[in-house]
Every structure is written in structure tokens, then in C-alpha cells.
Chain A
Amino acid sequence: MTSTSFCLNGREIAQEIDSRQSLADYVRETLNLTGTHLGCEHGACGACTVEVDGTPVRSCLVLAVMCDGKNVETIEGTRTDEAMNIIRRNFREKHALQCGFCTPGMLLTARDIIRRHRAPNDAEIRAELSGQICRCTGYMGIVAAIKSAAVEING
């Protein structure tokens, strides 16, 4: 067990954490924040994407204790984020989700793409999404949603 403290979704956390526990398991099983989904547990599908200090990471590959002193945001922390709510609306309007399992990771990745690209084109969005697996939608709605959300957010 390792004494760890970090900021999660704006809340200070200070806990003894099993050193081998992944960040994903910690937020899901200890904190019951189940919006972070596990699709492969080996860093390939991106469903467990969260942000650490403003950068998207695969929480299945990050140990919780590595987040000591850092700022972690899960999908639950984005519910009042204005940009994210614009992205959410665009995801809905463009039918960018079906079963919803990949969606939290997709949304966090989408927000990151929109932050880094002012007006991303289809090819840029597809390249940026290449680490996120969606089995349902065939990606077309996701690409369209990110494109239109970027226009709305970045003007």
C-alpha cells in the first residue's frame, strides 16, 4: 500500500492505495466511478481514457499511485464542462454512439482533439481516433460529431 494524494474531478483524494492497482480499477472499484469503461485492459481500445494533468491517458495502463500529486479527470468530472456538453450534443445529433460502451473514452478523446486542432478535417480526426475502438458505429458519426463540435467550440 502506498500513501497517495491527488485531485480527482476537483476533489482532493488522500488514500492508501494498493501499489499494483490500476487507475481504472481504482476509480471504478474503490470510488465507484463506473463511467470509465474497460474494453481490453491492455491499452489498445481506449474505452478507459481519462485525463491526467490535461492529457488523455489509458487508465488501464496507469497505476493509481502514479497519479500522486496530479490532477485526474474522469467522464463523471465533465458533466458540467461546457465544451464537453457541446460535444455530447453533437454526438447525439450525429448518431455517434450505439451501445455506449466506448462513448466515455471517445468523448474525452474528442475534447482533446478539439483542443489541439482548431478545425480538424476528416483525415486528422480519423488519425487522432486511431487508438479508440468503436465496434458499433463504423466511426462515421463520431468523425462528423467531432468535426461539427469543433466548429461550434472553436468558431
Chain B
Amino acid sequence: MSISPETETWIGKSLLRKEDIRHLAGAGMFVADIRMPNMQDVAFVRSPIAHGHLLGIEKPAGREASVFTLVDLGAVRCIDAGPELASFRTTPYPPLAGDRVRFVGQTVAACIAPTRAEAEDIAEQVIVNTDDLPTVVDAVAALQPGTATLYDGWSNNAFIHATIAEGDIASVANAPVQMHRTLKMNRQATVALEARGVLAYWDHRLDELVVYTSTQGPHVMRLGIAQSLGLPEHKLRVIAPDVGGGFGGKNRLMPEEIAIAALALKLGHPVRWIEDRREHLIASVHAREHHYDLTLFAETDGRVLGIKGALHVDAGAYALWPSGPFMESSMAARNLPGPYRIKHLHIDTHTVATNKAPLGPYRGVARPGACFAIERAMDELAHELGMDPSELRRINLVSAADMPYRTAGGLLLDTGDYPTALEAAVEMIDLPAIRERQKTPEPDGRKIGVGFAVYTEQSGHGTVEWTKRKSRVVPGYESATVRMLPDGTVHLMVGILNHGQGLETSLAQIAASELGMHPDNISVRHGDTGSTPYGFGTFASRSIVFSGGAVAKACRQLAIKICRIGAHLMQTDTAETALRDNAVHGPSGSVSLAEIARAANTRPELLPQGTEPGLEVTATYEPPDSGGVFSYGVHAALVAADPKTGIVEILKYAVAEDCGTMINPLIVDGQIIGGVAQGIGTALYEELPYDEAGQPLATTFGDYMMPCATEIPHFEIRHFVTPARNTEYGVKGMGEGGAIAPPATIANALTDAFRDIGAKFLETPMTPRRVSEAVARAHGENG
């Protein structure tokens, strides 16, 4: 049997997305859109202070039965979160605060009423009695001796200290060039436009608790909720309906999910909580907040030899299940050598507890910070050495001939040609023209500058990598079930989730290619533990590698059976058949998939002897080398900045990237553009500052600056395609890459714009205030 090449053309086609149709009709079904009889809404009472003992909760007179505290929830277990390392201090994170509150916004009580408005009326009458404990808001200062600790019995505020080292940093101690810099990427929110939401009820017919939740991984959440509630998993069904963006922020078990599930068990009617934007900004998953203190060791010709330093990650008050905050610091440290031939690395990492909302993943996880640190440092070094930054990169980049190359961070870069991508970015942004333009002052008084940054994006990493990270859940595989129905159409059930990535389309393209079908005849189902095979969800740019692989594998197994039945119906040999154009073709005729599916499902007397009826296969898949494959790219930006107001405008932005084989280039471009837009948010706008008392200062979109259409430029994208050696079709994950490089790219462009005065841009976001202050400071130093 064979699958004809002309049916494989679905791979690489910019097929328009299946999922668009319902969303364009306004007919998507998000958690808040689900209606259940007798449903009641919950409003949470949240801690108004950053740190204190919870002395008591006064329920409003007459409404006592509508207010639930931790003891009212019944038996709830606080499950351990964070890496399975003895050196990691686990922290119980109760769904509602017990005897202590540790950040503003922590859930304290749940109020229930027929509408959210009425629930909020009750919530505002609840009195929370606390005393004040010393507040910790600075992750570096938090480790100073004598600082108050968030947890009794901890010797300091670190969840964990760990050193990431490779090579021998002492061997470069006498390097002729040594450059020290401190850099900071500030805290931000993840801001899916659909905030989180949970709806839970007991289904008496199926004798199970149903939890609808806006999550990226319903199977894993079922495990966490089941353990928290002490429910066997067969009595818990978790459903992620349409999910309005996730970006990592919906990939951790959160206290509201446990509280709502517990309330549904207790109350016997459907209970719903829909996060509002204020709750999202103060109490949902927070991200980033890295402090770097780095020394680069280099030769005078620009070759970088080693990096030494410290990284503090401000992890907030609790570890979120399953992974906790440790991955942030270890990944950041391991990514510091970037795509460069740097041999020696020694980074002391500190993952620090503070009185802020807990840290979690956000698009790029750790790497936007690491990329900002190393790519800024490379530019700083270039300026110190009087070299053009793109030239310094050329000297240090891993070349195509070096591949596969193990970095000092222990990452095995698999395939690609980084220098060619750099050249493409230089050409796309037209570096010579910019250098020429810079010779004349801009008529509007602004300064223009060009910046580059290189990034890599690990994806498709499985058992080996996640075990190395001591992950509590090891997302080492994905599953897919392909089921051909009696008319020859297909249901494809997968364990990942589609929340904007177009996977209902791209996975159908894969199945269509393997089964010789049209994607229109394939429906992709996901997000329901009750109807999909086990899987870990969509995060870490893993779904196209893992789920795409599982779909391909399951479909190939099904194709064998289809051909065997087709051969029997045509009275020919299976070896003589080919599957294409919705039919199995033999030497003298063909039989349609519908006829084969009919025989397999409803007319078993037509099947060859010994063939089991039905057309259904479930397969699991992990790439043969589970260390991961690496997409990569180079971003280039031309910016104009006003030295007085500090306002930055992006005049041009170019991306040269390589994510291996593209299943659907339209979707790939969309992921790149969307990622870069988020990276621009990190670079210039988005920040969650806290005051000294631990009060969050950005609680609405009035003070949390979201990039809009006027802030985001038009993008130019150039693709290179170096297929991965290890994955189906040579795909690499690419959902996060766009968000990794923009902070470094834009900061490098600003540095270039103000190179004449040496203004320093070492902290994100580069708000008008930070930019104008950096310029004023440089003038002061020069003057």
C-alpha cells in the first residue's frame, strides 16, 4: 500500500481555519456562555493586605449561609507543587486562606448568589480581620539576613537556590575583557482577553462532578482537582470549552478552580465564577520578574568565553501546581548562553518568595528574560569593543556546521543556520540604509536606532527533559484517537487543547494527508476528559510536535486497516493498494472510504476473515529524541525615540525565522505576529508594579498598558525551513518564539539610538519615563 504524494499536499497549505466560523458568528462557547438550571454565581472576598495573620472573617448578618470560608469547604487537601527536589520548599496553597494571607488578592471567602452582582453585594459586607506582618516585595533584598520571612520555619525567603554551571568559569577569570551589567525584566500579567472562569456541578446521571474551566490542559487539571478534593478520577470530568487565549496563564491549578469544585460538591447545584479583569491583574498567574547580575568574559576580538552571575526570580507567595516557579530560574539560566559558542557558564539562581501573586508560565517562559539579558549584554559588549553588534553576533553564533551543538546551558541545538538568519534580518531591516540615515539628524528631533536579537525556542521536549527538570507531571507524550464513522468521515480526538492556535485545522490537515481525505471531512475534538484520550494540553509549543505526531501515527495505523479492507473488497492484494482521494485504489478500480467504513462499522459480513470490525485507532507519540527541537530566529527593529518625552515608536520590524516544516503557513505567521506583539508589550508597555506595602499598582487597563493597533507595527517575516530530524514531517514547535526576542531587540535599538550619549536600557518595560530618565541620566553623566 502507499499514500499518493498528491494527497500529502495538505501539509504546507495555508488552509483557512475551521474554528473561525463559529467565532465569526459570535457563536463560540466560552465558560461564561454556558447556562445551567439553578446556577449561582460566586464573588470572592480577597485579601486587602499583602501579608498578615487572618484573625477572623465576619459574615454579614442574615447572609451567613451565602458565605463560605476554608473550613466551610469541607475536606480539601493542599497538594504539593513545585519540582520533586528535596531542596525545594513546598508551600501549602489553600483554595481559601487559612490562618494567613500572603498577597493582595488572595482568596479569603466565597460568596454565592443568583447573580454576580448580588454575590458582590454580599462580598463587600464581609469583614476580614487581619493583623499586619512585614511585607517582602523585593526579591533581591528578600534574601538579606534579617529579612522577615513569608513562611515560619524558613531560614530565608528562597523556594530554592540552585547553581547552573558548565565548563570551568575559573579558567576565564583572567580574560582581557570583563563586562558587568545588571538587568531586569519586570513583572507582568498574561492577559488572555477571556479571563479565567469555572463552572461546576454534580451530574447525577453520570455520577460525576463536571468542572468546566478555562484551562490549557483539562486532563492534568483533573488530576490536580481530584487530588485536592479526594475524588476518584472516574467521578470527575473536566471540560475546557472554547478558551479565549491562554499564553501559559491558564496552565496552572488555581485556588478558584478548587474552591468552585468544592462548593459544587457541597451545594448540589451548579456554581460559577467568572474572573473579572481586576482579579486577573492582581491574582491570576503573574509572569517574568527576573533580576540578572552578570559578568561577560571575552577576548578583545569579541569572542565571548563565559558568563558568570546571579539570577533572582521573584516567584510571589506560593508555588502553583504542578510545576511551581522553579522552571523559570533554571530555564532562564540554561538559556543564557543563547545561540552562542560560549563555553563557560556559572549562574547562581534564587527563586524567591515575596508578597505578590504567584508566578507562572507566560509565552516564552523564562526565555524572554534570558534573551533580554544575553542579547542586551552582547550589544553592550559590542559597544565597549567598538564593534557593530551584528558583527559581534556573527563571530559568536553557532554555525550550521556546528550542528548539533550542545550549549553551555546543556541544550542540544539540533538543526538550523543561525548566521544566515542574521544576515537575512540585517538585509530585511536594511542596516546600511539606517547607518546612512543616522548621519543626518531626524527633522522631528527624534533619535533613530536599529537593534537585533537572536533567539532559540525549545519545543517538542519530552520525558528526558521534563524528568531532568524534576517535573511533578512529565508531559512526555500525547495521545490521539482517530475514528472513522460509517459514512467515511472522521472524528479525531486529541489530548491537547486548541485555544487560538488553529489546531482544529492543522491537525485535520495532518489526518487528511495520512488518510487521503479532505480536511472538511474530519472533525477535531479536544478539551473534554470525558471524550478525549489522555494528554497534557497545549503549552511549551508542544502540540504540533506531540499531538501532530500522535495524529499521524494513529492515522497511519488506521490507513493500514483501511487498505486491507479495501483490498479485500476489490479482491486484490493489500500491497497493490494506494490510499488517496477519499478511496483505496487497486490495479483495476477503487473503493471509496465510505464503502470501506460502511463495511467496517455496519456490514461486518463484508470484512476479510479475521479482521475486527470498527475503524478506530488510539496512538501515543513522543519524538525519538526527547531533548527537544529548536526553532530559532533573528528579530530586527528600527525605532524612533523622543529624547524628552521618552516615547518610542517602532518604525519597522522584521523577523527571519525557521521553525522547520510548516503544516499551515498562515497559522505560523499568525503565531509569529501575535507573539511579537506580546513581546512588544513586554518591551514597552506592560508592567505590574507594587508599592512597598505590597499593594498592586496596576489593577485596570487604565494603568496596565495593553498594546493596541496603534502601538503594534506591520511586520515583515522571512521563513527558512530546516526540517527537524526527529519529528513527524520535520516540524518544530513555534508558538512562543515571537514573544522571546522583542524586549532585547527594542532595547538594543534604543541603545543604538542613543549610542552617542551612552544611555543605558537595562530594564523592561521601556516606558516613556524610563527612556527619558535613561537619556537624562546619560546627559548628566556626560555633562
Contacts and interface: CB of A to CB of B under 8 A. Distances in A.
Interface string B493-535: 0000001111000000000000000000000000000000000
B511 to A, nearest CB: 21
B20 to A, nearest CB: 5
A129 interface: yes
Given A36-B26, A131-B708, A99 B715 contact: no
Given A97-B23, A129-B709, A138 B677 contact: yes
Interface in B351-371: none
Nearest to B675: A138
B677 A76 contact: no
B741 to A, nearest CB: 14
Contact of B17 (A18, A25, A44, A95): A95
A135 B673 contact: no
A29 B113 CA distance: 14
Nearest to A108: B26
B702 A42 contact: yes
Interface residues of B, number: 56
A134 interface: yes
A139 B677 CA distance: 8
Nearest to A104: B26
Interface string A29-49: 100101111111110110100
Contacts of A102: 193
A137 interface: yes
A93 B20 CA distance: 10
Contacts of A126: 709-710
A68 B673 CA distance: 43
A103 B26 contact: yes
B423 interface: no
A113 to B, nearest CB: 11
B247 to A, nearest CB: 7
B368 to A, nearest CB: 16
A139 B21 CA distance: 19
B194 interface: yes
A133 B277 contact: no
Given A44-B702, A130-B708, A140 B244 contact: no
B713 to A, nearest CB: 9
Contacts of A29: 115
Nearest to B277: A40
A74 interface: yes
Contacts of A127: 709-710
Nearest to B717: A140
**Interface SS majority for chain A:** loop
Contact of A133 (B115, B195, B502, B708): B708
B662 to A, nearest CB: 14
A23 interface: no
Contacts of B33: 28, 34
Nearest to A47: B193
Given A100-B23, A133-B706, A140 B117 contact: no
A133 B26 CA distance: 17
Contacts of A5: none
Contacts of B276: 41
Interface string A70-96: 000011101100000000100111010
Contacts of B22: 100
Contacts of B29: 34
Nearest to A92: B20
B24 A139 contact: no
| Most chain B beta-carbon contacts within 10 A, residue among A20, A21, A37, A47 | A37
Nearest to A141: B670
Interface string A134-155: 1111111111000000000000
Contacts of A12: none
A65 interface: no
B277 A97 contact: no
Given A42-B277, A135-B247, A98 B502 contact: yes
A59 interface: no
A121 to B, nearest CB: 12
A136 B243 CA distance: 12
A122 B714 contact: yes
Contacts of A98: 245, 500-502, 670, 674
Contact of B709 (A21, A25, A142): A142
B701 A100 contact: no
Contacts of B30: 34, 37, 101
B669 interface: yes
B708 A132 contact: yes
A40 B675 CA distance: 21
A125 interface: yes
Contacts of A137: 670, 673-674, 677
Interface string B286-320: 00000000000000000000000000000000000
B24 A135 contact: no
A107 interface: yes
Nearest to A85: B24
Given A45-B706, A88-B25, A137-B670, 4 more contacts: A34-B26, A42-B702, A98-B670, A136-B674
4 closest residue pairs by CB, A with B: A35-B26, A100-B23, A101-B244, A138-B677
20 contacts: A20-B117, A32-B35, A34-B26, A35-B27, A36-B26, A39-B194, A40-B700, A41-B277, A42-B702, A44-B706, A45-B701, A74-B26, A99-B192, A99-B244, A100-B28, A100-B244, A101-B30, A101-B244, A138-B677, A139-B712
